[in-house]
């Protein structure tokens, strides 16, 4: 009888495999709740988008204390416990798309419309990141504060 080779087990210290990038460079991250999957998404964003994602996450976290984070449909979502999701982030080929799910009620409205009348978008391009800070960071923070007080989309609990 031949001796079997023992199965190789992964060490707990082995870093997880780098996420696969989907269309437009959007990282494929499994559905999960909490800061860790959002940070994994941000770390996997290609090129300049990772630094912009970190800056955006910091803006949201400062503007909305206690914000709930999760990854759904390969995108970070930010919401209020029991109040639903108020914004989501998605990597596109040339920019990062920030969706304000009830953005039509924000003042001023984010600049990009949607086929869904209530939703508005902000696109962040490479030149919008200056010395690790987003050029419109103060306005983004104001929108996040406003959006977090509106009824959110879905269930953030």
Q: What is the mean pLDDT of the chain?
A: 88
Digit-coded pLDDT (tens) for 113-140: 999 999 999 999 999 988 888 989 999 9
Digit-coded pLDDT (tens) for 97-118: 999 999 999 999 999 999 999 9
The confidence score (pLDDT) of residue 157 equals 58
Digit-coded pLDDT (tens) for 18-39: 778 777 777 888 899 999 999 9
Q: Please tell me the class of the 23-148 domain.
A: alpha beta
Tell me the mean pLDDT in the region 44-63: 96
Residue ranges covered by each domain of the chain: 23-148
In the chain, pLDDT over 90 holds for what percent of residues?
A: 70
Per-residue pLDDT for 56 more than 60? yes
Per-residue pLDDT for 68 more than 60? yes
Cis, peptide link before residue 108, omega less than 30° from 0: yes
Q: How far apart are CA 15 and CA 17, in angstroms?
A: 7
Strand stretches in the chain, DSSP E: 32-33, 68-72, 75-80, 84-91, 96-100, 120-124, 129-130, 133-134
Could you tell me if 37 and 121 are in contact, meaning their C-beta atoms sit under 8 angstroms apart? no
pTM, entire model: 0.85
Per-residue pLDDT for 6 more than 60? no
The confidence score (pLDDT) of residue 9 equals 44
């Amino acid at each position: 009888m031949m001796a079997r080779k023992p199965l190789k087990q992964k060490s707990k210290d082995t870093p997880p495999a780098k996420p696969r990038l989907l269309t437009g460079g959007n990282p494929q991250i499994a559905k999960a709740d909490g800061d860790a999957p959002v940070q994994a998404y941000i770390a996997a964003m290609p090129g300049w988008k990772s630094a912009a994602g970190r800056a955006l996450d910091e803006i949201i976290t400062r503007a909305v204390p206690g914000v709930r984070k999760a990854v759904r449909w390969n995108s970070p979502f930010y919401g209020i416990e029991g109040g639903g999701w108020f914004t989501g982030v998605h990597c596109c080929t040339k920019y990062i798309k920030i969706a304000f799910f009830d953005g039509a009620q924000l003042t001023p409205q984010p600049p990009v419309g949607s086929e869904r009348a209530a939703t508005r978008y902000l696109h962040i391009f490479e030149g919008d990141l200056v010395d690790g800070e987003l050029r419109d960071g103060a306005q983004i923070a104001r929108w996040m504060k406003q959006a977090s007080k509106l009824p959110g989309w879905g269930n953030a609990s």
